[in-house]
Amino acid sequence: MSKGAGVLTFLILLLGAGCGSEKKAEEGGAEKECDSAPAAMTGQPTLPAKFPAPDNVIYTGQKKTGPSSVVSGFRDGELGDAFDAYKSAFDSAGYQVTDSEKEEDDAEVNFAGGNSTGQVKMIQSCKDRTSLAITIRPQ
Amino acid sequence: MRAAAAFALALVVLAAGCGGHASSGNRTITIVVDAPFSRSPYIGNTVANGVRLAADQLNAQGISADGKAYRIRVVRIDNALSPGRAVADTRSALRRHAVAIVTDGTGVDATWQLANQQHVPICITYQGGAGLVDPKARPNVFRIAPTDHGLAFRLAEYMVPKRLKIAVLTDDSDYGQAGRTSLDDAFRTVSKSVVARITLPSSASDLAPQVLQARRSGATALLVWALPPVLAKTVVAARSAGWHVPVYATPTAEDPVLRQQLADHPSWLDGLTFGSGRMTAELGSGPWSTFEAAYESAFGATLVGVKSQGKRVISPPDYAMYSYDCANLIATAVQQAKGTDAKKVLAALNQVSIHGANGDERGFNEINHEGVVDDDVYFARFEHMVFRPVKDDPLSSTLPVINQVR
């Protein structure tokens, strides 16, 4: 899969998950079986200095949005594990976790560090996979 | 006898003022709302009504701290958008033994130190200026409202990929100048997108010269960061000149003043897009609807004064949600502090969290006194005098349309 297609797939996933949030109680992503995983992006995304990557995170693309950028990816496993892993990884990397919230099917960890601020948005897209969208804003 | 009566009266007044007890025997949590009731009634009432609603609900259900019953008393003071008045108001609040001050943000640069001397927290629920909140330098200042930083970056993230040539127009008010700073920061790395930076004089009756300057710069979009009357004059100047340039703005676009001033030309407002804090949270619109219904039941719907396709337009109480959450956090902090000891309440505010009016978790910590994250800024577009989330932004496209007619 090309990088563009990977990003598109992720955006559709994210959009789908978001649209479904109004009726989350009926169809939680955690109950769906996973399709085949999106392909990893070629190379590595451009991330702030010492930006942490918890184990098993696969990046699938990066998109520039004005001054900021959004890195997409996924991590095999449940949402709660990804949430804990990112919080812990930010602490270890010397970043500040400015805010965090975990709900049933999605979670956010907001960070400051590496001359940037931003958010790791996590969505349990299916039974054993957590989709990631990392927004990075320069400071 | 007269002297004895006067002495007795003085004792009663002293007890009421200093003891923190209401006449019912309950102790009192005084929350002072310092807002621009005279100069900007929409903002003033929005801030105050959110606090009032939380207070009424909490008083009805009963507040207890360390086994003692409390009642919340809300005191409204008008700062008239004047920092000088805000300083006087803060002194007044401290004399009234306020547990906290909830404000739109006027004058906080001058008031925070006064309040901090007595460890009284200030909660800002409207202005988003970058320097207003700093947990290290200003440990008593908190905010639940979208920040200028978040609005500016989200606007840049939304507009730049559209390949627009942007004229940035900011007014000369404190609000506009703070916005200019944040926009400069947000567009620093994408400065080629900006073709003009123009200051709008708030006192000018006609902004045609400034709009013409923007047009001559080759702009294909206007990004206006200004108070509602100035935003209205900018739209009027562009449209009356026959310039159908897309206009982007900040939450001041929600102020009824904008729609009232464009009431004779409703189509001029169509397409205006603005950034603001999302009303509903990830878990759906249920909690927001409950809050909105309670708000309307208490105060009535906020009528904008215009109609949309024959129906009366109302303004949703989105910013009232922020002051409502602030008041609830303050009450929770009092409970955690086991009373109204200012130092303990201030410390507790760094620890407590609540489920806010829209279901989102709200709370602060020692390194972060912001209650609304940058990524919660969404975009809405006007059509027929009401607005709905845009479809070409990933977050906004997932949000429900909030009914704005009655």
Taking contacts as CB-CB distances below 8 angstroms, the residues of chain A near B398 are 15, 18-19, 21
**Chain B: closest CA distance from residue A49 (Å):** 18
Provide the pLDDT for residue A28.
59
* A66 contact B CB<8A: yes
Residue ranges of chain B whose pLDDT lies below 70: 1-25
Q: Among A21, A99, A104, whose Cβ lies nearest the Cβ of B373?
A: A99
Predicted confidence (pLDDT) per residue in A54-107, tens digit? 999 999 999 999 999 999 999 999 999 999 999 999 999 999 999 999 988 899
Which residue pairs from B119-125 have beta carbons closer than 8 angstroms and sit at least 24 positions apart in sequence?
Answer: B119/B342, B119/B343, B119/B345, B119/B346, B120/B93, B120/B94, B120/B342, B120/B346, B121/B330, B121/B333, B121/B345, B121/B346, B121/B349, B123/B323, B123/B326, B123/B329, B123/B330, B125/B47, B125/B50, B125/B319, B125/B322, B125/B323, B125/B326
User: Could A66 and B161 be called an inter-chain contact, meaning their C-beta atoms sit closer than 8 Å?
Assistant: yes
Task: State how far the Cα of B200 lies from the Cα of B213, in Å rounded to an integer.
Answer: 11
Rounded mean pLDDT of chain B? 94
Fold observed for domain B165-238: Rossmann fold (3.40.50)
Domain B2-146+319-373 grouped into CATH 3.40.50.2020: no
Using CA coordinates, name the residue in chain B closest to A68. Answer: B157
Residue A29, both tokens: 């992503």
Using CA coordinates, name the residue in chain A closest to B163. Answer: A66
Domain ranges for chain B: 2-146+319-373, 165-238
User: Could B398 and A19 be called an inter-chain contact, meaning their C-beta atoms sit closer than 8 Å?
Assistant: yes
pTM of the predicted model as reported, rounded to 2 decimal places: 0.89
User: Could A22 and B284 be called an inter-chain contact, meaning their C-beta atoms sit closer than 8 Å?
Assistant: yes
User: Could B189 and A138 be called an inter-chain contact, meaning their C-beta atoms sit closer than 8 Å?
Assistant: yes
Q: Which alpha helices (DSSP H) does B241-317 contain, by range?
A: 256-261, 266-269, 286-299
Which residue pairs from A16-20 have beta carbons closer than 8 angstroms and sit at least 24 positions apart in sequence?
Answer: A17/A105, A17/A106, A17/A123, A17/A125, A17/A131, A18/B394, A18/B395, A18/B397, A18/B398, A19/B397, A19/B398
* A11 contact B CB<8A: yes
Q: Taking phi first (over 0 means left), then psi (-120 to 50 degrees means alpha), and beta for anything else, what does residue A96 get? A: beta
Taking contacts as CB-CB distances below 8 angstroms, the residues of chain B near A135 are 375
Q: Among A15, A104, A138, whose Cβ lies nearest the Cβ of B398?
A: A15
Sign of the C-alpha dihedral, residues B171, B175, B177, B180? negative
HSE, side-chain direction, 13 A CA sphere, residue A1 = 16
Using CA coordinates, name the residue in chain B closest to A22. Answer: B284
Non-local CB neighbours of B46 within 8 Å, separated by 6+ positions: B126, B302, B317, B319, B320, B323
Provide the pLDDT for residue B25.
60
Cβ pairs A/B, distance under 8 A: 80
Q: Which of B223, B366, B398 to mutate to test the interface with A (most CBs of A within 10 A)?
A: B398
Taking contacts as CB-CB distances below 8 angstroms, the residues of chain B near A98 are 367-368, 370, 373
Q: Which of A27, A137, A139 to mutate to test the interface with B (most CBs of B within 10 A)?
A: A137
Please tell me whether residue B193 adopts helix, strand or coil conformation. helix
> Nearest CA to B145 among B90, B104, B86?
B104
The ipTM assigned to this model is 0.87
Q: Among A67, A96, A110, whose Cβ lies nearest the Cβ of B189?
A: A67
Q: Taking residues A107-111, report their average pLDDT.
A: 97
Provide the pLDDT for residue A31.
80
Residue B198, both tokens: 């123009």
With 60 as the cut, is the pLDDT of residue A132 above it?
A: yes
Q: Which of B163, B375, B391 to mutate to test the interface with A (most CBs of A within 10 A)?
A: B375
Q: Which alpha helices (DSSP H) does B96-225 contain, by range?
A: 108-117, 148-159, 174-186, 208-216
Phi, psi (degrees; rounded to nearest 5) at A108: -135, 140
Task: State how far the Cα of B280 lies from the Cα of B321, in Å rounded to an integer.
Answer: 11
Residue B110, both tokens: 């001058």
> Nearest CA to B178 among B230, B227, B113?
B227
Contact A121, A68 (CB under 8 A): no
User: Where do the DSSP E strands lie in A20-115?
Assistant: 57-65, 68-76, 96-102, 106-113
Provide the pLDDT for residue B282.
83
* A46 contact B CB<8A: no
User: Could B284 and A21 be called an inter-chain contact, meaning their C-beta atoms sit closer than 8 Å?
Assistant: yes
